[in-house]
Amino acid sequence: MTANRKPAKRAKREVENSQFDAFVRRILRAYARRVAAGDVESLTSLASLSAEVDTTIRLAVAGLRRAPYSYSWSEIADRLGVSKQAAQQRFGDSTTPNALDRRLREAGLSVTVATLVQVFAEHHPGDPAASTCPGCGYRYRQGEFDCPTNATVRPILRRRRRETPEAVTRLSPVQLADLIGTTNPRTRQTVRQSAFPTSGPFRSAPTLFDPYGRDHTS
């Protein structure tokens, strides 16, 4: 009688980043087709993916900047097809006034929910909203609701908040309502606009589609 043998483990298959890239693009196109087929309620979720991608780019750059890789801003800018100054201004480091919180730069894509909660709370503008971020001193532009740090944290924490519910309970009721979108953004905007002139050009907030906040008014 032969002894029972454990099945041999399959060799781990390495997946190239190019394959991940192709897979994500297929998924996005399929998602868009499903929404286009009459699912108007899902349009909001589809549009929010731009902020999610923008956030993951920030964290990926933070990881590339960290040891042991320590890529320079010139190397990163070259891959993004922008100038060194534009890349540094967009993604920031410890030498720029709009830098991401140090805890995000150090953790990168491995950031925990507990850290996200702590950072979000410390950089939350409050209610009524202040004209500058209490966590980093960033001065909000007209129509902005977050400093660069919380613009990065918000979509990740909103998506991952159920992974560690006990960590999310540390947010105040105002912060939690703001995170999940049950507050009235117009109220917050009205409070903040009092700190800005009512006319004149301003730079819009960076987005995935216009990541450097170019002024479209000219």
Task: Indicate whether 185 belongs to any domain.
Answer: yes
46-96 per-position pLDDT tens digit: 887 877 787 788 888 888 988 899 999 999 999 988 888 888 877 765 445
19-60 per-position pLDDT tens digit: 888 999 999 999 999 999 999 998 988 887 877 787 788 888
Task: Indicate whether 134 belongs to any domain.
Answer: yes
Nearest to 211 by CA among 73, 53, 60, 69: 53
The count of other CB atoms within 10 Å of the CB of residue 69 is 9
Which residues does residue 139 pair with via DSSP β-bridges, in sequence order?
132
For 81, the token pair is 């097809």
Task: Indicate whether 41 belongs to any domain.
Answer: no
pTM of the model: 0.54
Task: Indicate whether 22 belongs to any domain.
Answer: no
Range of the domain at 90: 51-193
Task: Indicate whether 152 belongs to any domain.
Answer: yes
Task: Indicate whether 132 belongs to any domain.
Answer: yes
Task: Indicate whether 198 belongs to any domain.
Answer: no
Q: Based on the structure, what is the number of domains in the chain?
A: 1
Task: Indicate whether 23 belongs to any domain.
Answer: no
Alpha-carbon dihedral angle through residues 87, 90, 96, 100, given to the nearest 10 degrees = -120
